[in-house]
């Protein structure tokens, strides 16, 4: 079958990439990312560059689901006969999630698992002075034997990290130990006085003769000065692989590595033959540090207590899926460092290795883990894949000094906790299986990485205590969403104190927390599940205090650094989990600056949190609260050139109420060393005669403002009717993004202004706005909240039957007694949750106001928004 493809290849234009080797080079790693051919069906091909995924669009479109199936890649690589005496490997740094590789039509191997590297020795399949065809069949379908089985992120399919063609001499550092670098760095006697390094090297001799080699280890300081060196004469027997452990003498008065001063030494490993010709070489970061953990006193670095505060990270990026250029990804680590974070959990799988190198360099302590998430499968194959994945993970990421913690499971009882179908027996069986796998992974991790701290994260459920699984790792992480999925914000501390009391010997970390937040939503009255930035601030500010006040807590990692793709979600931006401190394109949300104000003490810093305020609509006597963030103690606040007050900062912020005038307002905040200014455009409507406006929008049924960039307008929150102003007479506010609806797609089609539509008034028959006489364009916004996505959206069959009868509503719409729409029936007219706008021009005469009536014929009318525009 494959030779068939080879034949076909000759007939299509593909871009060829030539690997030209120089014999002086002892090892040649060529990144072969450009000019691959990609197809979803093996008939139509397109040229793509890696990193690549086929789910960039369909994971974000209006159709539920995304393509999980096969993708085919191929590419030709030229090798000259000068390469003959060398060994050739093909290395894939990550392919999601199963890859089957062919070279010149022959099956080379298969790899399961989408987040770790793997390689194949392809030497015997290569043709010299010829083009060699590499083909990769990639599969991201659901597979019961490959973790993750289920999780709150999108499993984009494709070859999304670098592919390397490696040519090396016959004597080299092994590539066969789970695609590691073939050497492992360990430390001994690390203290302020001295520190030592030992290295275990796996050296291969693929020649048919024995060879005497020299291995030189050079330890260089950050400036490149040689600090210690050692050369070993090593005999490499023919056709063997051997392990050598080499100890470098101790360094006296070493410079220690820490987040404040991430001082790095470097270790160079050079393998030569007896004559000094280089055969292979490697490089590693060396960070002298020691860590410890205490169930009562928390985390210790270099003998001193340190509270770990940082974020979790997912690897995808707006518009790229998981196929993100590495330079763009590296910026994330800089953004986290600039925020002052000293801790990063790479969730829920190993990320690109370059990022761990960045953490070494910038000084961020790392938790890294494999994607065994939400549930396990009770098969030998699942166990084997998980254990192999952990072996790859540990061996490939072992040498980064920033890596402090190695994990292997996230919320592994989540599906079990929500399972109300299975029998008690089968649930018990699943618990036993899960515990067995956890135990196997823990034992494996401790054996392969005895100097790292093992970790696991669980969700709010007793099952982690009952089963004893929480006592396996050295630190247990709780993912806690008090004030979001569960109870209220202050319940965090109550829960943690209780856990600490019940399990005094267990070290705890808050491994996830945080609410969803959309930068277009703000409010004076933040509430659970409103996605306002204000609620995000409230929750994070309180959580931080609660953790800082508990010395037993080792640390906290916010969920999430950035918004990320999760296809089934119905947050205000559909298919995106919006719990990020920065947006999906990494633009900081306001909360990012608050973290900076509490974490980053390097330079004086002030931030006025007001980006979201542009277009704020207020009345004369309504001061608006604005948060000011700073790492300074005392600040002076000015509005439009006038000093308002001196304020004191606590927990990184203070709230100042501003009476804004109509038009541009300038806020200025100064401290002794630094100042910050922001100008805000405000629409101040004189409430009593409601006249100074051109455009006025109301977000019906909602307590929050919504900044609609498509309309260039900020919709105001709703209210009960007030004379001279606006509001509803009857009906109840209704929100589609409510807690209980989590997981149900609330994606409103035909619009990106989802928050305007997602909140509405239900049962409202009469609404009034006391606008002055004139001609107006009135737009009314509607959505039918009860329509569920139909299985086949094309199955409309032209019949009159509504898609779904449940919740169907029919009503007549009147504006000032003029019938605008008779028998309005959204369930009948629209196949799905469409954002519907009805626009009319009306004339208001003297002594008349705007009155909207929704007269029910069947069910309760709903309405989501009103936009009034002067003509
Ligand atoms: C969790 C999961 C994480 C989810 C997060 C959420 O506990 O570990 O994968 O994305 O909650 O946002 O619900």
- Could you tell me the distance, in angstroms and rounded to a whole number, from the CA of residue 794 to the centre of ligand 1? 33
Report the separation in Å between the CA atom of 151 and the middle of ligand 1, taken as the mean of its atom positions: 8
**Sorting pLDDT into bands at 50, 70 and 90, what band is 741?**
very low
Tell me the residue length of the chain: 871
- Topology (CATH level 3) of domain 695-870: Jelly Rolls (2.60.120)
Looking at residue 800, its pLDDT comes to 33
Residue 571: per-residue pLDDT:
86
Measure 217 CA to ligand 1 centroid, in angstroms: 44
ipTM comes to 0.99
Q: What is the pLDDT of residue 702?
A: 93
pLDDT number for residue 788? 62
Going from the C-alpha of 348 to that of each of 151, 152, 311, 409, the distances in angstroms are 9, 10, 12, 8
Structure token digits, residue 602: 């390097």
| The pLDDT of residue 115 is above 80 | yes
The yes-or-no verdict on residue 16 having pLDDT over 60 is no
Question: What angle (nearest 5°) sits at the alpha carbon of residue 169, between those of residues 168 and 175?
Answer: 50
807 — pLDDT class (breaks 50, 70, 90): low
**368/352 Cα distance (integer angstroms):** 11
pLDDT band at 108 (very low <50, low <70, confident <90, very high): very high
What pLDDT was estimated at residue 8?
A: 33
Pairing verdict, β 251-252 and 240-247: unpaired
pLDDT of 801 above 70:
no
Instruction: Say if ligand 1 is within 6 A of residue 467 CB.
Output: no
- Residue 787's pLDDT band (cuts 50, 70, 90): confident
Percent of the chain with pLDDT over 70: 93
For all residues of the chain together, what is the average pLDDT? 92
The full 3-state SS of 601-646, as one line of letters, equals CCCCCEEECCHHHCCEEEECCCCEEEEEEECCCEEEEEECCEEEEE
Helices 590-599, 326-339: inter-axial angle, 10-degree rounding: 60
Nearest CA to ligand 1 atom 4: 152
What would the mean pLDDT of 696-704 be, rounded to a whole number?
94
The CATH H-level (homologous superfamily) assignment of domain 611-685 is Immunoglobulins (2.60.40.10)
| C-beta of 479 in contact with ligand 1 (< 6 A) | yes
Question: Is a pLDDT exceeding 70 seen at residue 543?
Answer: yes
- The pLDDT value recorded for residue 298 is 98
> Between these two residues, 759 and 127, which has the higher pLDDT value?
127
For residue 512, the ligand 1 atom closest to its alpha carbon is 7
Percent over 90 (pLDDT), the chain: 85
Name the residue with the closest Cα to ligand 1, atom 10. 152
Residue 832 has a pLDDT of 78
For residue 360, the CA-to-ligand 1 centroid distance in Å is: 27
User: Does residue 709 have a pLDDT over 50?
Assistant: yes
* Ligand 1 centre distance from Cα of residue 579 (Å): 9
Residue nearest to atom 7 of ligand 1 (CA): 479
Would you tell me the crossing angle of helices 326-339 and 353-362 to the nearest 10 degrees? 30
Question: Which atom of ligand 1 sits closest to the CA of residue 411?
Answer: 8
Atom number in ligand 1 closest to CA 485: 13
Cβ–ligand 1 distance for 314 under 6 Å, the answer no
Ligand 1 pocket, 167 CB below 6 A?
A: no
When pLDDT is cut at 50, 70 and 90, the band that residue 693 belongs to is confident
Q: What is the pLDDT of residues 710-735, one digit of tens each?
A: 889 999 999 999 998 999 999 998 77
pLDDT at 743 over 60: no
Distances (CA, A) of 372 to 112, 389, 461, 474: 13, 10, 18, 18
The pLDDT tens digits of the residues spanning 205-251 come to: 999 999 999 999 999 999 999 999 999 999 999 999 999 999 999 99
Q: Give the number of other CB atoms < 10 A from CB of residue 799.
A: 6
b/e sequence 102-127, b meaning 16+ C-beta within 10 Å: bbbeeebeebbbbbbbbbbbbbebbe
Cβ of 578 below 6 Å from ligand 1: no
pLDDT value, residue 734: 79
Strand partners, 92: 118, 163
418-452 pLDDT, tens digit per residue, is: 999 999 999 999 999 999 999 999 999 999 999 99
Name which residue leads in pLDDT, 9 or 687: 687
Task: List all residues 6 or more positions away from 404 whose beta carbon is below 8 Å from its beta carbon.
Answer: 291, 365, 366, 367, 452, 453
Please state the atom number of ligand 1 nearest to the C-alpha of residue 479: 7
Residue 790 has pLDDT above 80, yes or no: no
pTM score: 0.94
Q: How far is the CA of 148 from the centre of ligand 1 (A)?
A: 14
Is the beta carbon of 579 within 6 A of some atom in ligand 1? yes
For 192-196, 539-543, 746-750, which range has the lowest pLDDT when averaged over its residues?
A: 746-750
**Quick one: pLDDT at residue 614?**
80
List every span in the chain annotated with CATH 3.20.20.80. Answer: 312-600
Distance 560 CA to ligand 1 centre (A): 9
Residue 514 alpha carbon, nearest atom of ligand 1: 12
Token pair 């508990």 in the structure block, residue: 550
Whole-number Cα distances in Å, 7 to 3, 42, 105: 6, 13, 10
CA of 636 to the centre of ligand 1 (A): 40
384 vs 527: CA distance, rounded Å: 45
Whose C-alpha lies nearest to ligand 1, atom 9? 152
Q: CB-based contacts of 317: which residues, under 8 Å, 6+ apart? A: 324, 328, 329, 562, 584, 585, 586
**Sequence ranges of the chain with CATH classification 2.60.120.430:** 695-870
Residue of higher predicted confidence among 470 and 753? 470
CATH 2.60.120.260 domain extents, the chain: 2-168
Residue 739 has a pLDDT of 43
Q: What is the tens place of the pLDDT at every residue in 383-427?
A: 999 999 999 999 999 999 999 999 999 999 999 999 999 999 999
The CATH number of the structural domain formed by 183-286 is 2.60.40.10
Q: Is 503 left (phi over 0), alpha (psi -120 to 50) or beta?
A: beta
- The CA 628 to ligand 1 mean position distance, Å, reads 29
- Residues of the chain within CATH 2.60.40.10 domain(s) are 183-286, 611-685
Residue 687 — pLDDT band, cuts 50, 70, 90?
low
pLDDT at 829: 86
pLDDT of 486: 93
Domain 2-168 listed as CATH 2.60.120.260: yes
pLDDT in tens, 53-95: 999 999 999 888 999 999 999 999 999 999 999 999 999 999 9
Q: At what angle do helices 533-548 and 491-502 cross, to 10 degrees?
A: 30
Q: Residue 434 burial by CB count (10 A; 0-12/13-18/19+): exposed, middle or buried?
A: buried
Q: Contact, 199 vs 76, CB < 8 A?
A: no
At 27 the pLDDT is 64
CATH superfamily, region 312-600: Glycosidases (3.20.20.80)
Q: Is the CB of 459 under 6 A from ligand 1?
A: yes
Distance from residue 116's CA to the centre of ligand 1 (Å) = 22
How does pLDDT run across 307-318, given as a tens digit for each residue? Answer: 999 999 999 999
């Amino acid at each position: 079958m494959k030779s068939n493809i080879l034949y076909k290849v000759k007939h299509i234009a593909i871009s060829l990439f030539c690997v030209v080797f120089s014999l002086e080079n002892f090892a040649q790693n060529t990144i072969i990312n450009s000019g691959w051919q990609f197809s979803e069906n093996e008939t139509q091909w397109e040229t793509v560059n890696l990193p690549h995924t086929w789910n960039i669009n369909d994971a974000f479109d209006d159709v539920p689901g995304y393509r999980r199936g096969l993708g085919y890649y191929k590419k030709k690589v030229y090798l000259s006969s000068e390469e003959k005496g060398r060994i050739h490997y093909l290395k894939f740094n990550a392919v999601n999630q199963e890859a089957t590789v062919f070279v010149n039509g022959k099956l080379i191997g298969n790899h399961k698992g989408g987040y770790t590297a793997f390689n194949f020795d392809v030497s015997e399949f290569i043709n010299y002075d010829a083009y060699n065809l590499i083909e990769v069949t990639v599969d991201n379908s659901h597979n019961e034997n490959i973790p993750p089985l289920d999780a709150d992120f999108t499993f984009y399919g494709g070859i999304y990290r670098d592919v390397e063609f490696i040519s090396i001499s016959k004597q080299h550092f092994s590539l066969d130990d789970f695609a590691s670098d073939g050497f492992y760095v360990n430390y001994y006697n690390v203290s302020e006085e001295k520190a030592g390094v030992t290295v275990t090297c796996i050296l291969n001799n693929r020649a048919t003769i024995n060879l005497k080699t020299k291995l030189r280890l050079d330890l260089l300081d950050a400036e490149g000065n040689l600090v210690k060196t050692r050369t070993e004469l090593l005999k490499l027997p023919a056709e063997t692989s051997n392990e050598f452990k080499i100890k470098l003498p101790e360094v006296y008065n070493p410079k220690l590595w820490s987040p404040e001063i991430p001082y790095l030494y470097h270790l160079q490993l050079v393998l030569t033959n007896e004559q000094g010709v280089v055969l292979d070489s490697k490089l590693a970061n060396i960070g002298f540090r020691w860590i410890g953990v205490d169930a009562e006193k928390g985390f210790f670095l270099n003998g001193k207590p340190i509270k770990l505060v940082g974020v979790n990270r997912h690897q995808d990026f707006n518009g790229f899926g998981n196929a993100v250029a590495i330079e763009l990804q590296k910026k994330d680590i800089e953004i986290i460092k600039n925020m002052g974070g000293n801790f990063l959990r790479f969730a829920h799988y190993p990320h690109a290795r370059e990022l761990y190198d960045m953490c070494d360099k910038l000084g961020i302590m790392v938790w890294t883990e494999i994607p065994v998430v939400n549930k396990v499968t009770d098969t030998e194959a699942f166990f084997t894949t998980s254990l192999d994945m952990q072996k790859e993970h540990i061996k490939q990421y072992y040498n980064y000094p920033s890596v402090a913690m190695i994990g292997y499971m996230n919320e592994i009882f989540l599906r079990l906790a929500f399972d109300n179908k299975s029998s008690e027996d089968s649930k018990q069986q699943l618990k036993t299986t899960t515990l067995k796998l956890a135990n196997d992974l823990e034992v494996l991790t401790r054996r392969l990485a005895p100097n790292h701290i093992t970790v696991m994260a669980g969700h709010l459920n007793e099952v982690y205590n009952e089963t004893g699984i929480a006592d396996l790792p050295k630190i247990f992480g709780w993912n806690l969403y008090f004030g979001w999925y569960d109870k209220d914000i202050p319940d965090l501390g109550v829960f943690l104190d209780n856990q600490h009391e019940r399990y005094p010997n267990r070290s705890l970390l808050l491994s996830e927390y945080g609410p969803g937040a959309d930068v277009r939503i703000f409010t004076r009255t933040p509430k659970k599940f409103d996605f306002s930035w204000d609620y995000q601030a409230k929750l994070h500010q309180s959580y931080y205090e609660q953790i800082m006040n508990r010395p037993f807590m080792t640390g906290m990692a916010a969920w999430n650094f950035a918004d990320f793709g999760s296809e089934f979600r119905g947050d205000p931006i559909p298919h995106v989990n919006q719990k990020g401190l920065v947006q999906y394109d990494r633009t900081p949300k306001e909360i990012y600056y608050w973290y900076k104000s509490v974490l980053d003490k390097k330079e004086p810093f002030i931030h006025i949190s007001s980006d979201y305020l542009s277009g704020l609509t207020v009345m004369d006597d309504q001061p608006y609260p604005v948060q000011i963030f700073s790492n300074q103690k005392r600040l002076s606040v000015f509005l439009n050139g006038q000093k308002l007050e001196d304020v004191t900062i606590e927990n990184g912020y203070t709230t100042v109420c501003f009476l804004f005038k109509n038009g541009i307002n300038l806020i200025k905040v100064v401290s002794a060393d630094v100042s910050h200014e922001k100008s805000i455009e405000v629409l101040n409507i004189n409430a009593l005669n409601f006249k100074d406006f051109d455009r006025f929008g109301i977000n019906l049924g909602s307590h929050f403002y919504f900044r609609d960039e498509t309309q260039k307008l900020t919709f105001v929150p709703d209210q009960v009717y007030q004379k001279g102003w606006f509001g509803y007479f009857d009906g109840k506010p209704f929100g589609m993004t409510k807690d209980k609806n989590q997981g149900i797609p609330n994606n409103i089609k035909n619009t990106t202004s989802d928050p305007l539509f997602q909140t509405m008034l239900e049962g409202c028959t009469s609404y009034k706005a006391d606008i002055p006489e004139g001609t107006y364009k009135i737009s009314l916004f509607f959505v039918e909240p009860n329509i569920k996505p139909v299985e086949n959206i094309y199955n409309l069959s032209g019949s009159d039957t509504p898609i779904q009868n449940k919740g169907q509503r029919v009503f007549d719409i009147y504006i000032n007694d003029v019938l605008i729409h008779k028998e309005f029936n959204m369930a009948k007219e629209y196949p799905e949750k469409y954002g519907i706008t009805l626009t009319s021009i009306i004339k208001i005469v003297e002594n008349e106001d705007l009155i909207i009536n929704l007269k029910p014929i069947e069910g309760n009318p709903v309405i989501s928004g009103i936009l009034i525009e002067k003509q």
